[in-house]
Structure 1
């Protein structure tokens, strides 16, 4: 049984300089049984420096961490990070999204929302969280509430009495510092789930939201890869024993390969053969750009039940550690896991995908995901060249203005999106800077 997750849209406010709501739409058509995302798989977000493009990607990462990391809001580093990243005027961060989950001929559309606010003691906590669901096969379907949390209290649960009692016990005094979805997935017990059809449906809805967070990959250049490793390791330990049931319900193809990446230095011994195969894939990928590459060799050192691995690129006449490669090749290696995810049906967000990449390589990669990728790829960029590729698709180019207004590119006869953008013809995105504006700024020498 094959299934599909598709992110339809998301709303973000209260992060960095984004004070009011920004709506990002991936699928413009009405969702019904004729749903087809073929022309809506890739989106590029353009905008001036400081417009808030990176903030949108960071918002997705916060949503993911809230659901997957049960200690996220209790971590002092998280609190420091949120205090810096959440808008100083609102002191409240909100994230909403609609996503489609389809399996065989059945589709459901979900609406998830979470808001984080600052208390008087300076601690950020969850103020509200909810999940709604509707039939995705019919355009006129209406949402039905699954759960609603307000100010740390259970406001509504669409489940049986036995499960309600169990949930109230497990979540007591925790809903301000933990996502309800994350708490449920950490604690659910089979005996409470399948007592009645209502509770079974409730379980499926919660796990759909949790799985959405799992199938999302976010690339932010300054991420600490070691922290990502330990988070995934903890997640794997928490939920691996429940994976068989999840696979039977959702038929998810990749299982927990989501925890398995070439950019991690810690590799479980049981997964080492899979890791070597993934490095072989990486080698074939890098050879496209570096034809003289012979192999990528793994330097593995035992450390208890795992290997600590380092990668060396072998060019025959010499060997170089990946950290001493060119910035472009290092960027391609770091993006490889995201590219694998996007090609296999996952949802991928990449911040500044164009940095350190050759223009031609960038355009060819974008073109690949347009025609051959099975998932979604959303990236921020300043490079205008991908516009020539993306303009053939629908709803694939968005412009974020300095006043935080998103404008989607629509065909304008023979006009090209890159020329319109450069010439200030995109709504709310005028490029009115002239070379003479810089005169005197850098203290250049002037003849008396």
Structure 2
């Protein structure tokens, strides 16, 4: 699997949160080159409450489902308030040696009683040949309401049980387990094993396994919860490490308020992360380095070795606890390891909500330009800072609209001498684009509301 390249191409949302209809195609998909050895960047801009964070949450939900994890308890809130069902569709490019595929995965949620359920999934693919002609093949479709086979196409069901009659029972058990545990049917470990042991078409297992692996170790979704954790003085160090032993990824949370107790395995990982970050950190924030202050070991009540640590920042030889650094510096540090991995690995996709929070706008623009010009992976972010509009290719920028039926657009007909930032602000102020991108506010009404609100306590 190390030589497999997986790239997101498109996401389409229907009745998901505040988006009735919205599609974002990455530049590689729009140009039909899928992967050309370079980075893919998408910056999402728009008014507050217009769907930017919803895109981030859609990728987070995909990561949960495709990793085989349990659905969130609040899944009902993901469905558009006035609708009973929601559907999300994803397209991926998958490449291994000389084989190239477009992979299509979609799933649907529906409201039920006090909650919601995952009731439909479909996985398909088309193989890309030299003539770029593609014939779409359905690997499997899961329908919760259908008895007997539970899956489509019927030919796939009979194919799976033909050489192994036990698979008829195994498929039914897998369905019941996925319903009980509120997980994906298609990305259930049991279904993966069924396809692995079926040699009719090796592409089926390869694709299921590839998408699952991508979701688990190569897709990083940094939500606002991540930033909130930093505000509470916990440093979630997101990381991805690859060596001869394999790939490890995840988060290590370190308490910045005092002493943090971590086990030996996480300590060793943290040491490597800090060593990696220090290579880049001082080029982003001059003279800044990090250090782990090892305060000694002790045994926990179950006999496990625990190491007491404190994170320090070092500037010009002066050491201080990292908690005293700014929120922006701490945010950069928390995602820097995954940013480095994404920069160097074409199969890694990093998705960050409110990337600009606390980050100096000039630095933000420079970082994004470097990633666009020299990076290899994929980077999707939301932002309110408009500096990237002057730094990135216009095709790398998407704008949310006030129309829930068409939530995302690109601004077209931009001449080479036009400043996209100015064009966007003019569209906010005067309109004139294909869709309205700003729900108008009135400065006089705002001022009047502030004055009126100031009198509320005096009325009591």
- 1:114-263 to structure 2, matched below 5 A, reads 114-119=107-112, 121-137=113-129, 138-151=131-144, 153=146, 154-156=150-152, 158=156, 159-161=159-161, 162=164, 164-165=167-168, 167-176=170-179, 177-183=182-188, 185=189, 188-189=192-193, 193-194=196-197, 196-198=199-201, 200-214=202-216, 215-223=218-226, 255-259=246-250
Q: Gaps spanning 5+ residues in structure 2: where?
A: 455-460
Q: Report the Cα offset of residue 363 of structure 1.
A: 0.6
Matching of residue 61 in structure 1 with residue 57 in structure 2:
no
Flag the structure with larger Rg: 2
Is the CA contact 2:46–2:437 (under 8 Å) kept in the aligned structure 1? no
* Structure 1 length-normalised TM: 0.81
Kindly report the root-mean-square deviation, in angstroms, between the aligned alpha carbons of the 2 structures: 3.5
Distance in 2 (CA, whole Å) between partners of 1:40 and 1:352 is 20
Is the CA contact 1:98–1:111 (under 8 Å) kept in the aligned structure 2? yes
Greater alpha carbon shift after TM alignment, 93-102 vs 36-45:
36-45
- 1:257-406 to structure 2, matched below 5 A, reads 257-259=248-250, 269-270=264-265, 272-299=267-294, 304=304, 307=307, 310-315=310-315, 318-343=318-343, 344-345=345-346, 346-391=348-393, 395-404=395-404, 405=406, 406=408
Q: Report the Cα offset of residue 351 of structure 1.
A: 0.6
Q: Report the Cα offset of residue 398 of structure 1.
A: 0.7
Is the CA contact 1:40–1:396 (under 8 Å) kept in the aligned structure 2? no
Is the CA contact 1:98–1:112 (under 8 Å) kept in the aligned structure 2? yes
Is the CA contact 1:50–1:402 (under 8 Å) kept in the aligned structure 2? no
Is the CA contact 1:170–1:187 (under 8 Å) kept in the aligned structure 2? no
User: Structure 1 residue aligned with 2:433, among 420, 423, 426?
Assistant: 426
Deviation by residue 1:128-168 (Cα, 9 ceiling, x = unmatched): 00100110235321211111111254222635322743641
How many residues end up aligned between the 2 structures?
412
Q: Report the Cα offset of residue 357 of structure 1.
A: 0.6
Deviation by residue 1:37-61 (Cα, 9 ceiling, x = unmatched): 4566111111111101001100110
- 1:401-420 to structure 2, matched below 5 A, reads 401-404=401-404, 405=406, 406-413=408-415, 414-420=417-423
Aligned match of 1:88 = 81
SS in 1 for 2:371: helix
Is the CA contact 1:341–1:347 (under 8 Å) kept in the aligned structure 2? no
Aligned match of 1:16 = 17
Is the CA contact 1:108–1:136 (under 8 Å) kept in the aligned structure 2? yes
Deviation by residue 1:368-389 (Cα, 9 ceiling, x = unmatched): 2102211100111111110111
Change in Cα spacing, 1:322 to 1:94, as seen in structure 2 (3 Å) is: farther
Change in Cα spacing, 1:341 to 1:423, as seen in structure 2 (3 Å) is: same
Deviation by residue 1:170-201 (Cα, 9 ceiling, x = unmatched): 41423432202331x367548x7345233x43
* Structure 2 length-normalised TM: 0.79
Q: Report the Cα offset of residue 4 of structure 1.
A: 1.1
Deviation by residue 1:236-283 (Cα, 9 ceiling, x = unmatched): 9xxxxxxxxxx9xxxx99942223668797866346444312211222
SS in 2 for 1:59: helix
Q: Report the Cα offset of residue 225 of structure 1.
A: 6.7
Aligned match of 1:99 = 92
Structure with bigger strand share is 2
Deviation by residue 1:201-221 (Cα, 9 ceiling, x = unmatched): 332121122123122110112
Distance in 2 (CA, whole Å) between partners of 1:186 and 1:172 is 10
Change in Cα spacing, 1:201 to 1:2, as seen in structure 2 (3 Å) is: closer
Q: Gaps spanning 5+ residues in structure 1: where?
A: 237-246
